[in-house]
Amino acid sequence: MPEQIEGETLTQPDRFRVVAWWSSGQSGIAKSNSSPSAIHFTSPPSLGGEEGRRTPQDFLLSALVSSYTTTFRGLAEKLHLEHTDLEVEVEGIGDSQGNQTFEELLVRAVLIIPHPEQYAQAMDLLNETSRLCFSSQAPSIKRSFEARVTVRLCGYATG
């Protein structure tokens, strides 16, 4: 239930959770609290991962395009911007030093609108979406890390 503070209603923040574990060989499984389906993943093939499985890099790029797309849809609906199609592509350019990071992320958005007089509004909305979407802000999110080690001896766990 939302809290009341001096006439304002505060809502509890949404919480999202994903758990991953290495299943066997060169693959693992990830499962979120928002979906009953588990997703199999692997390291990139260049690091010995299996062909045909998603990689952490795929997940990051998928998060970027889905974030952009859902943010655009919400903003376009509020502004009543009529459109017939939106295609969003993201390309991750790898680190030239061989680190498993991206040096650059290039997002390409192609929007099709039926009314030429809405061109300026459509361009503004595409740019505003880029500024506001979750994935554009993700690098600035505060990060925390918790680690725990458990030792299991003869059926007894410690830690």
| Residue 148, in any domain of the structure | no
**Domain shared by 109 and 128, yes or no:** yes
**Domain shared by 28 and 79, yes or no:** no
| Residue 151, in any domain of the structure | no
Please determine, for residue 140, whether its predicted confidence score (pLDDT) is greater than 70.
no
What's the rounded Cα separation, in Å, for the pair 75 and 121?
11
pLDDT value at position 150?
Answer: 64
Containing structural domain, residue 39:
14-54
The answer for residues whose C-beta is within 8 angstroms of residue 63's C-beta and 6 or more apart is 134, 135, 138
What's the rounded Cα separation, in Å, for the pair 19 and 38?
10
Q: What is the CATH number of the domain that holds 119?
A: 3.30.300.20
| Residue 154, in any domain of the structure | no
Please determine, for residue 2, whether its predicted confidence score (pLDDT) is greater than 60.
no
What's the rounded Cα separation, in Å, for the pair 64 and 135?
5
**Domain shared by 107 and 117, yes or no:** yes
DSSP secondary structure letter of residue 94: E
**Domain shared by 61 and 47, yes or no:** no
**Domain shared by 30 and 101, yes or no:** no
Q: For the chain, first and last CA: distance in Å? A: 35
| Residue 45, in any domain of the structure | yes
| Residue 38, in any domain of the structure | yes
**Domain shared by 45 and 71, yes or no:** no
DSSP-assigned letters across all residues of 16-60: --EEEEEEETTEEEEEETT-S-EEEEE--GGGTPPTTSB-HHHHH
Q: What is the mean pLDDT of residues 64-81?
A: 94
**Domain shared by 48 and 75, yes or no:** no
Contact 43, 28 (CB under 8 A): no
**Domain tally for the chain?**
2
Secondary structure (3-state) at 115: coil
Q: What is the pLDDT of residues 79-124, one digit of tens each?
A: 999 999 999 998 888 877 766 677 888 888 999 999 999 999 999 9
